[in-house]
Amino acid sequence: MPSNKSVSDAPIVQFTNCRILRDHQLQREDLWVREGKILNPEKLFFDEKGSADVQLDCKDSIIAPGFIDVQINGGFGVDFSLATDDFKSGIDLVSQKILSHGVTSFCPTLVTSPPSVYHQVLPQISVRNGGAHGAGILGAHLEGPFISKEKKGAHPEHCLRTFEAGAFQDLLATYGSLDCVQIVTLAPEMRRSSEVIQELTKRGICVSLGHSVANLSQAEEAVQHGATFITHLFNAMLPFHHRDPGIVGLLTSDKIPAGRRVFYGMISDGIHTNPAALRIAHRAHPKGLVLVTDAIAGMGLAPGRHTLGQQVVEIDGLNTYIAGTKTLSGSVATMDTCVRHFQEATGCSVETALEAASLHPAQLLGIEQRKGTLNYDSDADFLMLNDNLYVQATFIAGEEVWRQDVLDM
């Protein structure tokens, strides 16, 4: 069948012999791509009378949407919470390296820092599409400094702040700008937090609850004002109590506004959350689970001392602690590892594990029309994986940006 280029001169690529994750199922069909978008083959055949210019045999691989990491503090020696002269080259390095983990978009995350750090770093983060240069940047995730002293975790206490009379103005003064900000983590029990949540939500910024001693009614009130996410569930919050389950209770709360879904991040690295806790959360609220790495500068490096913002952290095997303590501080897990561990720990389907790292974070950020699915007209950001969920190749906008070296297999 001759190719009809009446609609576009761009080449059409047909990925064959694969199982595509679409509509929550692995389906044995081909994937068609043109100009960085997933193409509807029926329209191509019947409206354009077109056909593929290139066919690629996927050798029975799984094709899944690219992973989206909404909480990553750095990696490969780069710390997003440090204001350095070469910050841009650092963020470029991380975005390039995480392609091998299947991450095609991410939110560079800053932990609690002095205002001067936000003022220097945030103007250097710009939202951009992914490509051969690296994963796309969706905007910054600011974790703190408006969090609880009691549940500060690895965040430096001297940098913590509260909302004063100006509330939202305090936040603006601290960060300097919200231009590239996608997510803000705060403690909802703080005085005046409700007005801050409303103002952030009005600006299209996702508000996440975390590092908090909030009770359930405070958490529910925050959700009613617009909060939609929970930062690393179970970590840095009050433990579940049957009389007041705290933030954890949002997973089964009946006070969530109609038509709204609360999402929650989980660090599925085998360290931060016991597999039983992972199973409890997943069974209670499967559609809200978002896998995050919470990776720090030491990810991809040898054990030893590294930084997390203002703190020195020590990597011991897969554990990362504030130096000299047993306080966990981020992880060194990669996103593909988290997906595999999640599937193994919960016994969930392959589809469910993959969607927790792709569809759910896209839904959280309200970008599921473009990212996180392989629906027609969405961005052609996808992965080829084997049956054990090891990434074989990463594609952004339909172009191969990373491939597993055969010698490494």
Q: Which residues are catalytic?
A: 294
Q: Tell me the two tokens of residue 55.
A: 């066919």
Start-to-end C-alpha separation, the chain: 38
Alpha helices (H) along 329-372: 335-346, 350-356, 359-365
Q: Prior bond to 145 cis, omega within 30? A: yes
Q: Is 211 annotated as a binding residue?
A: yes
Q: Is 154 annotated as a binding residue?
A: yes
- Where is 75: in which H helix or E strand? strand 74-75
Q: Is 17 annotated as a binding residue?
A: no
Gap between the Cα atoms of 310 and 215, Å rounded: 29
Beta partners for residue 207, in sequence order: 184
Q: Is 157 annotated as a binding residue?
A: no
Q: Is 113 annotated as a binding residue?
A: no
DSSP state of 288: G
Gap between the Cα atoms of 277 and 272, Å rounded: 10
Q: Is 274 annotated as a binding residue?
A: no
Q: Which of 293, 288, 251, 247 is nearest to 268 (CA)?
A: 293
128: Cα separation from own chain's centroid = 15
DSSP state of 134: B
Gap between the Cα atoms of 304 and 306, Å rounded: 7
Q: Is 330 annotated as a binding residue?
A: yes
Q: Which of 22, 29, 106, 23 is nearest to 64 (CA)?
A: 22
Q: Is 243 annotated as a binding residue?
A: yes
Gap between the Cα atoms of 36 and 10, Å rounded: 10
Q: Which of 91, 66, 60, 54 is nearest to 76 (CA)?
A: 91
Helices 168-175, 193-202: crossing angle, 10 deg rounding: 60
Q: Tell me the two tokens of residue 42.
A: 């029926």
Q: Is 242 annotated as a binding residue?
A: no
40-78 burial: b if 16+ Cβ within 10 Å, else e = ebeebeeebebbbeeebebeebbbbbbbbbbbbbbbbeb
Gap between the Cα atoms of 9 and 48, Å rounded: 12
- 112 and 160 Cβ atoms separated by less than 8 Å: yes
Sequence ranges of the binding site for Zn(2+): 143, 211, 232
Sequence ranges of the binding site for substrate: 154, 235-236, 243, 272, 328-330
Sequence ranges of the binding site: 143, 154, 211, 232, 235-236, 243, 272, 328-330
